[in-house]
Structure 1
Amino acid sequence: MSGSGTTSPPVVRPRPLRPGDTIGICAPSMAHAARYPRRRERAVAHLEELGYRVRCGQNWLRDTGHTAGTAAERAADLHELYADDRVRAVMTSIGGYNANQLLDLLDYDLIRAHPKPLVGYSDTTALLVAIWQRTGTAVVLGPQLLPQWGEAGGSLEYTRRFFQRVLGSPEPLGPVPFPAEQVTEFLPWDEADDRPRTVLDAVPARALRAGRATGFLIGGNLETLLSLAGTPYWPELDGAILLLESTGTDPGRLTAQFTQLRHTGALDRIAGLALGRFTDPEFDRSDTLAELIAGETAGFAGPVVAGLPFGHTDPMLSLPFGARAELTSGPVCGLTVLDGAVSA
């Protein structure tokens, strides 16, 4: 089976991010930047070693329990970084649970007037979707400061290469090579994360429903996306290649979430479904995942591929919202990005 998506929505494309440019850092959710100073300093130093300047929001080291400051303070940092035209891209420090508090505080006219890519994943999905939906400004599902750039020995090469390629060039990625390695080991930050983590052979991508479809990229963390259902921030999905990933592997919980996704009508609108790797490689290989997805996407005509390298996985792709892409699901699974949707 095959399908083709609607025309990609228009994207406001800033110029490419180059060495010497400034990356702004904010903490829209958790306070981990304040709690893990060694990790934080190493991450900033790594970006500087790559040739970037780093500017941090005034409130990013606030620690008010489950968040890095009040919602107003966290929104103020985003406004500050967008308004500063020396800042060419904005990156989140880490995810969490409460970025959606910022959505009705953001000045979307300000963001539209100072276009620059916002980069992050996990809970940052709420900001990516809202800013994309309200402004058309380029956003990127990609690495965050602490988890990826704070790695001992520097970021993983695949993560770094695709971040710099997507944000630094207007050229499309074309066929995306998937990494041969995967890192799942967790070393407690600022206690034991003073060595590179163990590298494993990657779980290969696999077809859960065969087919081929073309559409525009959008998505992110499943739980966070579902928190937008029934709100004004739920995205337009007609013709999309929907990117979804989750940290959870409990079959009951995932079934409930995919049932909710189906109830939103999303599967009647999208062209294809791409699932990111789970944090447990055995779950990616499991019959449980295949059976769950088969049941919850019954009647969906488009391709479904699992095990793609985005979201809570290392190394990871950077994927721009709005880029046209072709998703292939079969004996060989593939993702081909057909245009550049970040820079012009």
Structure 2
Amino acid sequence: MIKAKALKQGDHIGIITPSAAAPVRFNERYNRGLDQLRIMGFHIIEGKCSNKIQAYRSSTIKDRSEEINEFIYNKDVKAVISTIGGTNSNSLLPYIDYEYLKKNPKIFMGYSDVTALLLGIYAKTNVTTFYGPAIVPSFGEFPRMLPTGKEYFENVVQRKKKAPYTLEIPDVWTEEMIDWNTQSREKQMVKNEGWKSLRPGCVKGRLIGGNLNTMSGFLASDYFPDLKGSILFIEDSFKDMAIQERSLSMLKVAGIFDEIEGLIVGKHEHFNDLDSPFSIDELLLEIIGDTDIPIITNVDIGHTFPSHVFPIGIEIELNATTGTITFLEDGVEE
């Protein structure tokens, strides 16, 4: 595994918009996110797609790919962070300069649709990538980034915590949606009921995963990592029980549940159970069947806040008996 250097104050961060045009649609929040990073001591370089919009996307596939490659080639840029997700980051996978990045590793971070880029880069280069905060939804939170989310970012990307360490369960969390262009109050936080041990057991393996819905756009391609022996994490947003059955069964028929050592399922933002007479956890067990792997659900990763930062490719321990996740190595080097 190849690791980038830990992010330090004074470093330059490149900002990409590989799918949805969030900087244009939510400009105030976008700029607040950039200011948050500046307050934290970083220099910002905005990508050329940050001021563009083409309906559902920021710009052409060519422009979006070039935006990423320009930051890969820029030796001053130590990290690349996405503005938001969207739907079409997978379109860029054939055009990234993986060989150059492999020889000159740097931090790539985002979540949701950016799963395609994070897993594609990891699969092609063996460089650790980071499932973590994006500029508009996370760094740009009103009136400021959640302190716990900021702490999780610093722990992992700036290496303020050194492995091995066990992840904490946040005391409170939120999935409240407030219009980003009119928001005038902080989101309401609710008590965190904790992580649920769905199937006991303790295993070690490489941490790999991301947004489940996004995976359907490049599963079984050369850009999807080998999951044999890994601990898979998945999360989703605004889906319903029927869609989740389809997505989880996609993993089943692809043989993924037979390859992995364990499973981590994140909190599902605004899940619609369609009045089903069973829970999403019961559906998961029904689909997995007799495959006996440790499973933890309701984990704080992905679309709910605050969310942990998961370095893709590091060795972790999943103890679904005690309901704990322990990072056995860091995602970055000194």
Under TM normalisation by the shorter chain, which class is it? over 0.9
Say which of 304, 311, 326 aligns to 2:302.
311
Structure 1, 297-306 or 270-279: larger mean CA deviation: 297-306
- Contact kept, 8 Å, 1:215 with 1:324, in 2: the verdict is yes
Cα deviation for residue 138 of structure 1 reads 1.9
What CA distance in whole angstroms lies between the structure 2 residues aligned with 1:327 and 1:55? Answer: 37
Report the counterpart of residue 223 of structure 2 in structure 1. Answer: 233
Amino acid of the structure 2 residue aligned with 1:305 = I
What CA distance in whole angstroms lies between the structure 1 residues aligned with 2:316 and 2:98? Answer: 27
What CA distance in whole angstroms lies between the structure 2 residues aligned with 1:114 and 1:157? Answer: 31
Say which of 266, 281, 289 aligns to 1:298.
289
Say which of 307, 323, 329 aligns to 1:333.
323
Amino acid of the structure 2 residue aligned with 1:311 = G
What CA distance in whole angstroms lies between the structure 1 residues aligned with 2:112 and 2:272? Answer: 21
- In structure 2, runs of 5+ residues without a counterpart are none
What CA distance in whole angstroms lies between the structure 2 residues aligned with 1:92 and 1:173? Answer: 28
- Contact kept, 8 Å, 1:166 with 1:173, in 2: the verdict is no
- Contact kept, 8 Å, 1:208 with 1:293, in 2: the verdict is no
What CA distance in whole angstroms lies between the structure 1 residues aligned with 2:112 and 2:294? Answer: 24
Cα deviation for residue 226 of structure 1 reads 2.4
- Contact kept, 8 Å, 1:267 with 1:297, in 2: the verdict is yes
Report the counterpart of residue 322 of structure 1 in structure 2. Answer: 313
Say which of 37, 50, 69 aligns to 2:59.
69
- Contact kept, 8 Å, 2:23 with 2:30, in 1: the verdict is yes
* Equivalences for residues 144-223 of structure 1 within 5 A: 144-169=134-159, 171-172=162-163, 174-191=165-182, 193-223=183-213
- In structure 1, runs of 5+ residues without a counterpart are 1-10
What CA distance in whole angstroms lies between the structure 1 residues aligned with 2:305 and 2:5? Answer: 27
Amino acid of the structure 2 residue aligned with 1:83 = Y
- Contact kept, 8 Å, 2:237 with 2:271, in 1: the verdict is no
Amino acid of the structure 2 residue aligned with 1:171 = K
Supply the RMSD in Å over aligned alpha carbons: 1.6
What CA distance in whole angstroms lies between the structure 1 residues aligned with 2:124 and 2:293? Answer: 27
- Contact kept, 8 Å, 1:108 with 1:134, in 2: the verdict is yes
Structure 1, 287-296 or 116-125: larger mean CA deviation: 287-296
Report the 3-state secondary structure (helix = DSSP H, G, I; strand = E; otherwise coil) of the residue aligned with 1:18.
Answer: coil
Report the 3-state secondary structure (helix = DSSP H, G, I; strand = E; otherwise coil) of the residue aligned with 2:279.
Answer: helix
- Contact kept, 8 Å, 1:276 with 1:311, in 2: the verdict is yes
Amino acid of the structure 2 residue aligned with 1:37 = N
What CA distance in whole angstroms lies between the structure 1 residues aligned with 2:83 and 2:157? Answer: 18
- Contact kept, 8 Å, 1:88 with 1:116, in 2: the verdict is yes
Q: Once the two structures are superposed, what CA deviation does each residue of 1:84-133 show, in whole Å capped at 9, x if it has no partner?
A: 11111100000000000000111111222321010011000000000001
Amino acid of the structure 1 residue aligned with 2:80 = V
What CA distance in whole angstroms lies between the structure 1 residues aligned with 2:33 and 2:13? Answer: 12
What CA distance in whole angstroms lies between the structure 2 residues aligned with 1:72 and 1:280? Answer: 34
What TM-score results when the alignment is normalised by the length of structure 2? 0.95
Q: Once the two structures are superposed, what CA deviation does each residue of 1:177-235 show, in whole Å capped at 9, x if it has no partner?
A: 010111111111121x2321111111311011111111010100001112212322121
What CA distance in whole angstroms lies between the structure 2 residues aligned with 1:228 and 1:282? Answer: 25
- Contact kept, 8 Å, 2:162 with 2:330, in 1: the verdict is yes
Report the 3-state secondary structure (helix = DSSP H, G, I; strand = E; otherwise coil) of the residue aligned with 1:24.
Answer: strand
Report the 3-state secondary structure (helix = DSSP H, G, I; strand = E; otherwise coil) of the residue aligned with 2:224.
Answer: coil
* Equivalences for residues 36-115 of structure 1 within 5 A: 36-115=26-105
What CA distance in whole angstroms lies between the structure 2 residues aligned with 1:216 and 1:233? Answer: 17
- Contact kept, 8 Å, 1:79 with 1:110, in 2: the verdict is no
Report the 3-state secondary structure (helix = DSSP H, G, I; strand = E; otherwise coil) of the residue aligned with 1:194.
Answer: coil
Report the 3-state secondary structure (helix = DSSP H, G, I; strand = E; otherwise coil) of the residue aligned with 2:94.
Answer: coil
- Contact kept, 8 Å, 2:110 with 2:130, in 1: the verdict is yes
Amino acid of the structure 1 residue aligned with 2:194 = P
Report the counterpart of residue 22 of structure 1 in structure 2. Answer: 12
What CA distance in whole angstroms lies between the structure 1 residues aligned with 2:130 and 2:190? Answer: 26
- Contact kept, 8 Å, 1:23 with 1:52, in 2: the verdict is yes
What CA distance in whole angstroms lies between the structure 1 residues aligned with 2:225 and 2:127? Answer: 14
Moved over 2 A (4+): 280-283, 341-344
What CA distance in whole angstroms lies between the structure 1 residues aligned with 2:222 and 2:205? Answer: 23
Q: What percent of counterpart residues are identical? A: 28
Matched, 1:288 2:282: no
Cα deviation for residue 282 of structure 1 reads 9.2
Report the counterpart of residue 129 of structure 2 in structure 1. Answer: 139
